[in-house]
A and B are shown apart, each in its own frame.
Chain A
């Protein structure tokens, strides 16, 4: 067993897991409060990426600063989306809530294609090619930065929900919509702000990912999928669950194929677990956890 390789894989998976956490946090927050699954989540992340990319090209400001602008613009987009579309479908049956949001995903993807074109773009930014060598391990600097910033953002969002009035209103509306209405909370506005925060999280994550991966309008859908897995794994609506789930999936997808290959070889099978099937690892973990804890890792009373 190649310990070095396994460590390297675990490290890069862990760092990317931090960004996954932030993406999933947005989805979980929206679901936890409104019981709506944002199927346009990944596509909105791609918009966050394109905003940061455009700023980089026009002004040269690094995505590690301009992700804040991505977050702000995505907050606005999320706020409007909630007001115009989502607010009208809150009381619909779940199957009917899916369609408008899947439709929005297509709108986001294809409008990005019209605005920014179909080609893959890997912009050159300050950190996009730097890495730090630690012994035999390589730490990818943009991943490390994205990871650290993602954790900071996540903590800020959690603090915001715990300490501020708006945060408390969001939690109140999530707990009991009627109750919150009765004590005079403007639930519509609270919902819109909450949706905005959720999409701002994913926008920020998008900005942070610009130096790490090439962007193209269609790359969003797999991220919707992965954040969905993370959220179910962690417990629907649980923010701590989204964080932990992000790390689990990040590491599992990175190390999983290698470990399974070692296992295969160990029992005398001459088989390599193909990397094409790495999502099998995530889904396998998901199934096991759901069998053991149907409410998800951190899913408590809600969910």
Chain B
């Protein structure tokens, strides 16, 4: 934001005076509220550009939506301006792009989809004393460094693991399964690694009846999973727990089909298994795939409003984990700005600390941060692709369908 000093004040008043004189408008001129710059920093190009673009769209859509509703009301209807930054999915670029938008006057950063990138940005924001709100990034470590300016709206990996045990436990109890033999796979980025390692640690520590036969990791952006799936097949697991990204999720399902790997269920916990493109391309193969992810609240009023506008703006898309949290990230900043009535970093951070943002866009309660900056009410749900669309199946209170387990038909029996 521009500071108003004597010179700019004089210049503006002169301009206003001149306009008033020329147009003959009566003196009832309202001062134009200043613009507030926040920055969306996402991996818009590079190996995960698809989700990066979805996230940027979510951020931009939220800003436009809030501006259309009258901007920041406590600050005279000040409008938000979204600066755009692209991490290219690389840590070093994430840092330099964050530096750039801070120099351009961003008072707060929102983003990015990748945990590794988020770590780089959080470190910089701490040095520059600029508030940073992570919309999607799950690795626990980011908020374990004692950062003062970093907040996270998204659940952390331990939360995912807790819920995974909770939901799997419920399924096992209801279906009388005493034990699962499982293979865990993950993409080799920070999120995938932390997520899979946390799950395996939880299974072991909590003596949960899941035997992990193998933990297979492959690089992000892999284009051939035949070797990995051959290994899975050789191990003959009951269930597969894949932590995926969009490209390898599709590759995995197809490869499982072609190699005829017999499974009772595919229970993932990550992106790739719920996007519209996954369902469009996989068709019946997507059916019965379960995914433990933060999800929109199908009963929520805010969800219905936001989703209606969003899917009109981007035909074929819907609010999912990514776009939903991208929206929520901006909404939380706006809520803090409303209460802070200031764009100073200290005021904004103080307001963010006191956040209690009631929302029913995503499953979970009001957004409120603990001393680390993590949203304590962020939560995940078990979703399952049923009848060509993602449905919430667990927890029962938020569900809009009943889960199907085991898969009634193996992948290759579905007549593709």
Contacts and interface: CB of A to CB of B under 8 A. Distances in A.
Interface stretch (A58-66, A72-80, A164-172, A214-222): A214-222
A119 B50 contact: yes
Contacts of B260: 131, 133, 138
Contacts of A279: 219
A129 B257 contact: yes
Contacts of A133: 260
Contact of B47 (A218, A257, A274): A218
B227 A254 contact: yes
Which 4 A-B pairs rank lowest in CB-CB distance, beginning with the nearest? A276-B188, A12-B226, A131-B258, A122-B281
A195 to B, nearest CB: 25
B50 A257 contact: no
Interface in B204-228: 214, 216-219, 221, 223-224, 226-228
6 contacts: A120-B246, A128-B254, A140-B258, A143-B226, A218-B221, A275-B219
Contacts of A214: 223, 247, 250-251, 281
Contact of A219 (B219, B221, B231): B221
B276 to A, nearest CB: 9
A216 B188 CA distance: 19
Interface residues of A, number: 44
Choose among A8, A123, A272 the residue with the greatest number of B CB atoms under 10 Å from its CB: A8
Interface residues of B, number: 37
Nearest to B44: A118
Contact of B219 (A8, A16, A120, A276): A276
A110 B44 CA distance: 11
Contacts of B234: 2, 4-5
Interface in A1-28: 2, 4-5, 8-9, 12-13, 16
B282 to A, nearest CB: 7
A96 B351 CA distance: 53
A108 to B, nearest CB: 13
Contact of A258 (B47, B218, B231): B231
Contacts of A113: 45, 49
Contact of A120 (B218, B227, B250, B257): B250
Contacts of B251: 122, 213-214
B8 interface: no
Interface in A239-258: 253-255, 257-258
Interface in A210-240: 212-214, 216-219, 222
A121 interface: yes
Interface of A: 2, 4-5, 8-9, 12-13, 16, 110, 113, 118-124, 128-131, 133, 138, 140, 143, 212-214, 216-219, 222, 253-255, 257-258, 272, 274-276, 278-279
B50 A213 contact: no
Contact of A138 (B219, B231, B258, B416): B258
A275 B216 contact: yes
Contact of B259 (A138, A218, A219): A138
A143 B281 CA distance: 19
A121 B277 contact: yes
Contact of B218 (A13, A138, A276): A276
B128 interface: no
Choose among B49, B221, B251 the residue with the greatest number of A CB atoms under 10 Å from its CB: B49
Given A12-B224, A218-B47, 9 more contacts: A5-B231, A13-B227, A124-B281, A124-B283, A213-B223, A214-B250, A216-B247, A218-B221, A272-B214
